[in-house]
Amino acid sequence: MYPYPRFVPRSFAVFALAAAFTLPSIAQFANPSTAPTTPVHNAKPLRPPAGAKVAIFEFEDLECPDCARANPLLKEASEKYRIPWVRHDFPLPFHTWSFDAAVDARWFDTKSKKLGDDFRDAVFANQASITTQDGLRAFAQKFAEDHKLAFPFVVDPQGKLAAQVKADYDLGQGIGIQHTPTIWIVTNKTSGTPFVEVVDRARLYELIDQALAETKSEPAAAHHANGE
């Protein structure tokens, strides 16, 4: 599909092989409350985007069932509190179409960031019906048609979108991601711990409330979520 339809993409094959050697402990969890707390090796990226005091910061895999379960809650929380939701790709190597889906989402991002996120939401909502790479392509093509777009036969001819997905994956490795979804509430606090991992999603709103209270007197962030 990228760029060889009906076969595992060459870029994905290399990605999966490399990931298998560099991060053997990656997983997904049916019960998120049993997931271990992520040992953060590099906390620098765990900050809100410029202009925000608090944000939801997530690493997701579009084929991960628990990511699909978390998605509506995170979307609702972002809208309710009017805080950014920073979404990063972390396609697990043992998932057959998640890397391709992330590349597709990046293609829709080039039309508008909202459209890309709408595609991600749609994939999660219809995840159970997408079982193959061909099924993913049919889904992406139908999504594009519904939005009056022509979905290209070769989505990423120069590999630029795949490179963006891999960059997110590398960022996650540097932080210490071990499972999907991994979710933090991040703040622009200049003292103490500026982030907290959301292990029990029943506490999501409580953790956001706490973060907003703690940053009430903080100036708006003047940096970017990727640490630049």
Q: What is the mean pLDDT of residues 143-148?
A: 98
Q: Give the separation between CA 158 and CA 153, rounded to whole angstroms.
A: 13
Question: Please, are residues 4 and 10 in contact by the beta-carbon 8 Å criterion?
Answer: yes
Q: For residue range 115-137, what is the model confidence (pLDDT) as tens digits?
A: 999 999 999 999 999 999 999 99
- Give the pLDDT of residue 15: 54
DSSP state of 223: S
Q: Give the separation between CA 96 and CA 117, rounded to whole angstroms.
A: 21
Strand order in the sheet with 195-197: 85-89, 54-60, 182-187, 195-197
Question: Please, are residues 99 and 12 in contact by the beta-carbon 8 Å criterion?
Answer: yes
- Give the pLDDT of residue 26: 52
Q: What is the mean pLDDT of residues 195-220?
A: 92
Does position 218 have pLDDT exceeding 90, yes or no? Answer: no
Q: Give the separation between CA 41 and CA 182, rounded to whole angstroms.
A: 14
- Give the pLDDT of residue 8: 39
Task: Count CB-CB contacts under 10 A for residue 31.
Answer: 7
What are the residues whose beta carbons fall under 8 Å from the beta carbon of 60, sequence distance 6 or more? 67, 70, 71, 87, 88, 89, 90, 120, 180, 181
- Give the pLDDT of residue 10: 40
Does position 35 have pLDDT exceeding 90, yes or no? Answer: no
Q: Give the separation between CA 16 and CA 14, rounded to whole angstroms.
A: 6
Poorest-confidence range of 3-7, 54-58, 74-78, 192-196?
A: 3-7
What are the residues whose beta carbons fall under 8 Å from the beta carbon of 127, sequence distance 6 or more? 62, 63, 65, 68
Does position 225 have pLDDT exceeding 70, yes or no? Answer: no
CA nearest neighbour of 102 among 41, 68, 61: 61
- Give the pLDDT of residue 37: 86
Q: What is the mean pLDDT of residues 67-82?
A: 98
Q: How confident is the model at residue 21 (pLDDT cuts 50, 70, 90)?
A: very low
Does position 30 have pLDDT exceeding 60, yes or no? Answer: no
Q: Give the separation between CA 89 and CA 49, rounded to whole angstroms.
A: 17
Q: What is the mean pLDDT of residues 156-173?
A: 98
State the fold for domain 10-214: Glutaredoxin (3.40.30)
Poorest-confidence range of 29-43, 99-113, 123-137?
A: 29-43
Task: Count CB-CB contacts under 10 A for residue 39.
Answer: 8
- Give the pLDDT of residue 47: 95
CA nearest neighbour of 11 among 123, 116, 103, 118: 103
Q: What is the mean pLDDT of residues 142-164?
A: 97
Query: From the DSSP assignment, how many helices (H) and strands (E) are in the chain?
Result: 7, 6
